[in-house]
């Protein structure tokens, strides 16, 4: 039961990841999305999908993922904050 559930959820997450990255590439090809933003979005989707799959698999073995998820959210927020400083500075500067 646990293995089947993990496999099904992994397939669903992977399908969502592929759908989102295809959409990003389509928007980039239509020139509605800049190259660097498309790259960043694809990378973010890749990390989110990977972490979600790992969380599902770990949860199936009864390991509490709340603390791990909190630490990852803190680290991710810090990284995004530092990355956004440069982008926001450029936007304000014009």
Cα torsion 74, 80, 84, 86: sign: positive
Q: Tell me 30's DSSP state.
A: T
CA distance 57 to 51: 10
Confidence of residue 18 (pLDDT cuts 50, 70, 90): very high
pLDDT tens column, 51-83: 888 888 888 877 777 877 788 788 878 877 777
Shared domain for 7 and 34, answered yes or no, is: yes
For residue 28, what are the domain limits? 1-60
pLDDT for res 91: 67
Shared domain for 4 and 42, answered yes or no, is: yes
Shared domain for 7 and 40, answered yes or no, is: yes
pTM given for the model: 0.66
Mean pLDDT of 3-26: 92
């Amino acid at each position: 039961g646990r293995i089947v559930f993990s496999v099904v959820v992994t397939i669903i997450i992977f399908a969502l990841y592929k759908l989102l990255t295809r959409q990003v590439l389509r928007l980039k090809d239509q020139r509605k999305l800049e190259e660097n933003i498309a790259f960043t979005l694809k990378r973010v989707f890749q990390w989110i999908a990977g972490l979600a799959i790992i969380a599902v698999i770990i949860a199936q073995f009864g390991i509490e993922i709340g603390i791990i998820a909190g630490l990852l959210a803190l680290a991710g927020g810090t990284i995004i904050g530092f990355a956004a400083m440069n982008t926001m500075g450029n936007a304000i500067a014009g």
